[in-house]
Amino acid sequence: MARRGFEHFAHDADIGVRGYGPSKEAAFEEAARALTAVVTEPEQVRPERAVTIACRAPDDAMLLCDWLNALVLAMAEEGLLFGRFEVHIEGDTLTATAWGEPLDRSRHAPAVEVKGATLTALRVGREPDGTWVAQCVVDV
C-alpha cells in the first residue's frame, strides 16, 4: 500500500529532500513540506496567505525541480514560509497553491536559507508498492 510523508537524506555539503505519496501530486506536495522542513517545522507555519504557482517542464524530474525552485523564489522574494500545498499536474504542466505566512524569526527559528533545488539525486518515480517518490538535493 502506498505511503505518504517526507524525509531528508544526507549529502556531503547540503541536504536532500524526499516526498512520497499515493500519487505524483502527493509526492510533490510532500517534497515541498520537506523543503520547508529544511528551514523550520512545517507544522509551525500558519496558512495565512495563499500563493499560486504554475510551471511547465519537458519531464517529471525537471518539473519537480521547477516546482521547488518556484517555492524557493517565492520564499526569498516575499519573505514567506509555506506549510500547506495543493498540487495539480496535467501532462507537462503543474499548477499549485501554497499556503503560508511571513517568516517570524522568533517563532520559526529558521535554521538555514535554501539557495536552490539542484539536479543532483533528482528523481521522480514509482516504487514497487505503488508509492510515488519525488526527491532532489537542495543547496543551502
8 makes contact with other proteins (CB under 8 A): yes
Instruction: Tell the smallest beta-carbon distance from residue 112 to other proteins (Å).
Output: 5
- Of 43, 50, 76, 130, the residue at the interface with other proteins (CB under 8 A) is 76
54 makes contact with other proteins (CB under 8 A): no
Measured CA distances, 99 to 45, 102, 126, 139 (Å): 9, 11, 27, 23
39 makes contact with other proteins (CB under 8 A): yes
For residue 13, the SS3 value is coil
110 makes contact with other proteins (CB under 8 A): yes
Instruction: Tell the smallest beta-carbon distance from residue 130 to other proteins (Å).
Output: 26
Neighbours of 3 (CB within 10 A): 15
Distance CA(96)–CA(83), nearest Å, equals 13
117 makes contact with other proteins (CB under 8 A): yes
- Which strand ranges, in their side-by-side order, compose the sheet holding 93-102? 49-56, 93-102, 80-90
Nearer to other proteins, 52 or 86 (CB): 52
Instruction: Tell the smallest beta-carbon distance from residue 121 to other proteins (Å).
Output: 9
What the block records as the C-alpha cell of 105 is 524569526
Distance CA(50)–CA(70), nearest Å, equals 14
* Spatial CA neighbour of 121 closest among 42, 39, 9, 37: 9
56 makes contact with other proteins (CB under 8 A): no
Enumerate binding residues for other proteins (CB under 8 A). 8-15, 39, 58, 61-62, 65-66, 69, 72-73, 76-77, 79, 103, 105, 109-113, 115-120, 122, 137, 139-140
